Amino acid sequence: MSKFLPLWPDQASSIAGQVDALYIYLVLVSAVMTLLIFVAVAVLAIKYRRRPGIAPHPIEGSPILETAWSVIPFGVMITFFIWGAVIFFRERTPPTNATEVYVVAKQWMWKLEHMEGQREINELHVPVGQNVKLIMTSQDVIHSFFIPAFRLKQDVVPGRYSTLWFKATTPGTYHLFCAEYCGTSHSGMIGNVVVMEPQDYTQWMAGGPSAPLPEAGKQLFASLGCATCHRFDVQGRGPNLQGVFGKPVLLEDGRTVIADENYVRESILNPTAKIVSGFKPVMPTFQGLVSDEQLNALVAYVKSLAQPASGTLNQAAAAPAGQPQTKQVQ
């Protein structure tokens, strides 16, 4: 990319080339359309310019022509729609094997936390060729995580998780911008995404001191007293959380929801919003008691319980996830 007058952004993700291809298609179609209209206006205006003795010829219209120039452009627009929707569908369906990174945005910085425990501020290191999924939330106002070189952007909204996934294709350092206006230093809420060769990445990872994120979550799970009700051995006052994540959960009101990141988050902050079938709304809220980083650790921990390590839980997993075992006995 020319640093003096960049006319095209770097292309560094698996989706970037697809977005560029669609963009070029639209630019070409638009250029042809614009030129067509400009030339038509210029030619007609000059050819039929006002001259003495030449009277204009009244024309009422032409239903055939009007239908043609409604239907044909609409047909072309449908190709814009389909192509755009296909790319969007890919952007919004993360592969299941993605490495996860938690992102917490706040005025005016990005805090990133790898599953292995490495923490970064305003900088994200990722390996080339690896699917990466960002699980993002904001501590205050709405922000937006924008990497032009990846052609990707996702608003980061307080009170919920939003996700973004990508596969970086070219090593290098790329801009990370906040794209949703967030107050005084909005334009200072910028950073870098560093895409590294796998071996460099492994080396970089090894430099980190911290414990893995699920491990931190496990400690919180114990210290916050979650484990007294959410027991793994016998049925406690709360559902057994092993094998729950990613599965459908039957609720007291008859609905079924998928236990995703937002569900776990909501169940911690607003436990009475969705009560699992067979349980009572006895859990206190942890709103204001746990930070967004601690929430992320708890979510990562609950997630790590999805694959039972030992064989003791197989019978529980056979029942619909979250269903209390007592009911199964009855």
Partner 1 sequence: MATTVIPAQPTSKPTNYLNDGFTLKSWLLTTDHKRIAMLYLVSVTLFFFLGGFFAMLIRLELLTPQGDLVSADTYNKIFTAHGMIMVFFFLIPVVPAILGNFLVPLMIGAKDLAFPRINLLSWYLYIIAGGIMIHVLLNGGVDTGWTLYSPFSTQFSNTNVIEAGIAIFIVGFSSIFTGLNFIVTVHRMRAPGLTWSRLPLFIWAQYATSLIMILGTPVIAITTVMLAVERLFHLGIFDPKLGGDPLLFQHLFWFYSHPAVYIMILPSMGVISELIACFSHKRIFGYKIVALSSIAIAVIGFLVWAHHMFVAGISLYAAMIFSFITFFVGVPSAIKVFNWTATLYRGAVSFATPMLYAFGFIGLFTIGGLTGLFLASLGIDVHVTDTYFVVSHFHYVMVGGVVMGYLGGMHFWWPKITGRMYPEGWAKLSALFVFVGFNLTFFPQFVLGYVGMPRRYWQYPPEFQVLNVLSTAGASVLAVGYLLPMIYFAWSLRYGPIAGPNPWGAAGLEWQTPSPPPTTNFDETPVVTWEAYNYDEIEPKHDFLEGTGER
- Stretch 240-299 residues interacting with partner 1 (CB under 8 A): 270
Amino acid identity at 273: A
- Which range, of 1-9, 114-122, 196-204, 303-311, touches partner 1 by CB under 8 A? 1-9
The contact pattern for partner 1, residues 91-130, with x = CB under 8 A and - = no contact, is xxx-------------x-----------------------
Maximal C-alpha separation, the chain: 101
- Which range, of 113-121, 124-132, 134-142, 309-317, touches partner 1 by CB under 8 A? 134-142
* Residues 242, 269: Cα–Cα separation, whole Å: 20
Q: Which of 114, 73, 86 is nearest to 22 (CA)?
A: 86
Query: 147-181: b or e for each residue (b if 16 or more CB lie within 10 Å)?
Result: bbbbbbebbbbeeebbbbbbbbbebeebebbbbbe
Quick one: 242 or 267, whose CB is closer to partner 1? Answer: 267
Per CB under 8 A, does 7 bind partner 1?
yes
Quick one: 48 or 315, whose CB is closer to partner 1? Answer: 48
Is the sign of the CA dihedral 242, 246, 250, 253 positive or negative?
positive
Quick one: 36 or 318, whose CB is closer to partner 1? Answer: 36
Per CB under 8 A, does 132 bind partner 1?
no
Per CB under 8 A, does 157 bind partner 1?
yes
Whether 298 contacts 212, CB under 8 Å: no
**Among residues 11, 18, 169, 294, which is the contact residue for partner 1, using CB under 8 A?**
18
Per CB under 8 A, does 148 bind partner 1?
yes
* Residues 285, 221: Cα–Cα separation, whole Å: 14
Is the sign of the CA dihedral 186, 188, 189, 192 positive or negative?
positive
Quick one: 23 or 228, whose CB is closer to partner 1? Answer: 23
Per CB under 8 A, does 211 bind partner 1?
no
Helix or strand holding residue 133 (H, E): strand 131-138
Quick one: 213 or 264, whose CB is closer to partner 1? Answer: 264
* Residues 302, 297: Cα–Cα separation, whole Å: 9
User: Environment class of residue 298 by beta-carbon count within 10 Å: exposed (0-12), middle (13-18) or buried (19+)?
Assistant: buried
Cα dihedral 114/109/190/14 (nearest 10): 30
Q: Which of 72, 74, 70 is nearest to 62 (CA)?
A: 70
Number of residues that bind partner 1 (CB under 8 A): 91
**Among residues 17, 28, 80, 291, which is the contact residue for partner 1, using CB under 8 A?**
80
Name residues contacting partner 1, limited to 22-61 (CB under 8 A).
22-23, 26, 30, 33-34, 37-38, 40-41, 44-46, 48-52, 54-61
Q: Give the other-Cβ count within 10 Å of 59's Cβ.
A: 6
Per CB under 8 A, does 181 bind partner 1?
yes
* Residues 201, 210: Cα–Cα separation, whole Å: 16
Per CB under 8 A, does 69 bind partner 1?
yes
Quick one: 104 or 149, whose CB is closer to partner 1? Answer: 149
**Among residues 110, 120, 127, 144, which is the contact residue for partner 1, using CB under 8 A?**
144
The minimum distance between CB 217 and partner 1, in angstroms, equals 22
**Among residues 12, 101, 112, 149, which is the contact residue for partner 1, using CB under 8 A?**
149
**Among residues 17, 28, 70, 202, which is the contact residue for partner 1, using CB under 8 A?**
70
Quick one: 23 or 237, whose CB is closer to partner 1? Answer: 23
